């Protein structure tokens, strides 16, 4: 599986272009604002339409090169089963099959539900499922994934 692109496996190819309200890194979960601009998704554990910033391949940029505020951003709207090379938040430790939700900053975090009842209140809280084990916790003796990237499947 090539990991030099955000689209790891696509069954759909719905791409929109919106203007960034601030810096956006390819692989970030994003949302469309009421102003028509796109930003990193917020709030943490909030409802989210799966939309991910792509690398700006039209300008010859890679997944490591961020968009600046006011740049046009290529946004992929994947569907169930599509695989994304997304960003996992610092401090997370996930295994294959873990469900992921918004961390509130464009990154994903492990979904921990059932204790607050938010799954019933926010039906679009879970965005994806981890396709690989990634340890970004600092409590386990150091991160094994310093890039913050993780292969996920949209659910």
Look up the CATH number of the domain holding residue 123: 2.40.300
In this predicted model, what pLDDT tens digit does every residue of 44-55 receive, in sequence order?
999 999 999 999
When pLDDT is averaged across residues 95-106 and rounded to a whole number, the result is: 97
When pLDDT is averaged across residues 96-104 and rounded to a whole number, the result is: 97
Return mean pLDDT, the chain: 90
Residue 132, domain member (yes or no): yes
Residue 83, domain member (yes or no): yes
Cross-strand partners of 135: 93
Residue 114 has pLDDT above 70, yes or no: no
Exposure on the CB side of residue 31, measured as CA atoms within 13 A: 18
Angle at CA of residue 114, ends 124 and 47, nearest 5°: 15
Residue 145 has pLDDT above 80, yes or no: no
In this predicted model, what pLDDT tens digit does every residue of 6-31 receive, in sequence order?
999 999 899 999 999 999 999 999 99
Residue 124, domain member (yes or no): yes
Instruction: For 81-120, give the secondary structure using H, E and C.
Output: CCEEEEEECCCCEECCCCEEEECCCCCEEECCCCCCCHHH
Residue 1, domain member (yes or no): no
The per-residue pLDDT for 146 is 65
Residue 121 has pLDDT above 80, yes or no: no
Residue 123, domain member (yes or no): yes
Residue 2, domain member (yes or no): no
Residue 19, domain member (yes or no): yes
Residue 87 has pLDDT above 70, yes or no: yes
When pLDDT is averaged across residues 81-92 and rounded to a whole number, the result is: 96
Range of the domain at 147: 7-154
Residue 115 has pLDDT above 90, yes or no: no
Residue 73 has pLDDT above 60, yes or no: yes
The answer to whether 75 touches 122, Cβ cutoff 8 Å, is no
Which tokens sit at 62?
């890679």
State how many domains the chain has: 1
Which tokens sit at 111?
């979904």
pTM above 0.85, yes or no: yes
Residue 79, domain member (yes or no): yes
Helix (H, G, I), strand (E, B) or coil at 6: coil
């Amino acid at each position: 599986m090539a990991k030099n692109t955000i689209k790891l496996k696509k069954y759909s190819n719905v791409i929109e272009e919106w203007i960034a309200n601030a810096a956006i890194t390819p692989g970030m979960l994003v949302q469309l604002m009421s102003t028509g601009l796109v930003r990193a998704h917020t709030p943490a554990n909030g409802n989210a339409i799966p939309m991910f910033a792509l690398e700006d391949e039209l300008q010859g940029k890679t997944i490591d090169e961020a968009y600046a505020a006011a740049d046009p951003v290529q946004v992929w709207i994947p569907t169930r089963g599509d695989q994304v090379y997304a960003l996992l938040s610092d401090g997370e430790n996930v295994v294959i099959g873990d469900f992921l939700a918004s961390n509130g900053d464009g990154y994903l975090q492990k979904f921990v539900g059932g204790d607050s009842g938010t799954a019933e209140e926010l039906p679009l809280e879970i965005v994806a499922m981890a396709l690989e084990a990634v340890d970004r916790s600092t409590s386990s003796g150091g991160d094994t994934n310093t890039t913050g990237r993780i292969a996920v499947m949209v659910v």
